[in-house]
Amino acid sequence: MFDLIIVRYAEIGLKSESVRKRFERQLIENIRYALNRESIVATIQIKRGRIFLITRQIERALEVLKKIFGVASVSPSAETSSTMKSIIKKSLEMMAETPKDGKTFAVRVRRTGNHDFTSQDVAVEVGREIKEKYNLKVNLEKPDIELFVEVRDEKSYLFFEKIKGPGGLPAGTQGKILSLIRNRNDILALWYMLRRGCSAKLLVENEETTLNKFVREWYVENHVEISYGGIEENLKGCIALVTGETMDNINLDMDKFLNIPVLRPLVSFDENRLREMMGRVGL
């Protein structure tokens, strides 16, 4: 059913044009790195705020993209032209392959470019055809099936879902931090800093097996380097020290003796929040 994957980002789009382009290049580089590591063959295109990943390995590529920092959401999609006739035809084909018994539906349309119809026109025409052919009821509030249509210049992209990614910024777009790795909390704190676009020097005291698994699963081998020794001898080139301390075990002595900021992304976390995020990150 699907020809490609639409990859969306969020925060990158808020940057100035020059910064946005640099971040887009880094995001694409990170995606290529992860796909190559998994031996997934794909072509990547970028068009006005969207990245399109064309591959025959849709399911495998989706699993990779859900672990790339900077990716806000992804959608396995079908491509057709931007004529009303083509959009209706592709919509009916996709609905034919979707379980429909007793279900309601809605059509959501976005449009970019110059066309002789509006987004509302597409929603009305496509909705009418689906309703008549498959005898389905429309429910715009809580439909069982949502068909999304993005019309972009000469092409249209149709999909049923938006799968969340980790969001944030692409790893490698911000400065380098020194991350203390003594326990799983420290690895979770590292996850948050990588999600903010940092690269990292990892000062490992414990949990090396868990750390190596984490680095591979989140495709950040090219943005981290493992180091050993003391804190001060590893600070060169780093803009901050990061730990996984919470209010229950915070140690402020480091703040007194180091001349760089000490960041504690988990400082406000309680046990429930820690467990929730550990599960999400795979720790």
Return the percentage of the chain with pLDDT > 90, whole number: 78
Residue with tokens 């020097």: 201
**Domain 176-281 CATH class label:** alpha beta
Each residue of 210-254: pLDDT tens digit?
999 999 999 999 999 998 888 888 998 999 999 999 988 888 888
Question: Two tokens at 140?
Answer: 């715009």
The rounded mean pLDDT for the chain is 93
Query: Which residue from 168, 227, 220 is spatially nearest to 199, judged by alpha carbons?
Result: 220
Q: What is the CATH number of domain 4-79?
A: 3.30.70.1510
CB 74 within 8 A of CB 62: yes
Q: E strands within 82-123?
A: 104-112
Question: Two tokens at 25?
Answer: 């290049």
**Domain 84-153 CATH class label:** alpha beta
pLDDT at 129: 96
Q: pLDDT class for 62, splitting at 50, 70, 90?
A: very high
Strand partners, 145: 105
pLDDT at 165: 96
The rounded distance, in Å, linking the Cα atoms of 10 and 178 is 27
Each residue of 113-138: pLDDT tens digit?
899 999 999 999 999 999 999 989 99
- Has residue 79 got a pLDDT over 90? yes
pTM (2 d.p.): 0.91
Question: Two tokens at 43?
Answer: 């072509």
Q: pLDDT class for 1, splitting at 50, 70, 90?
A: confident
Each residue of 141-182: pLDDT tens digit?
999 999 999 999 999 999 999 999 999 999 999 999 999 999
Query: Which residue from 146, 195, 193, 190 is spatially nearest to 169, judged by alpha carbons?
Result: 195
Q: Where are the domains of the chain?
A: 4-79, 84-153, 176-281
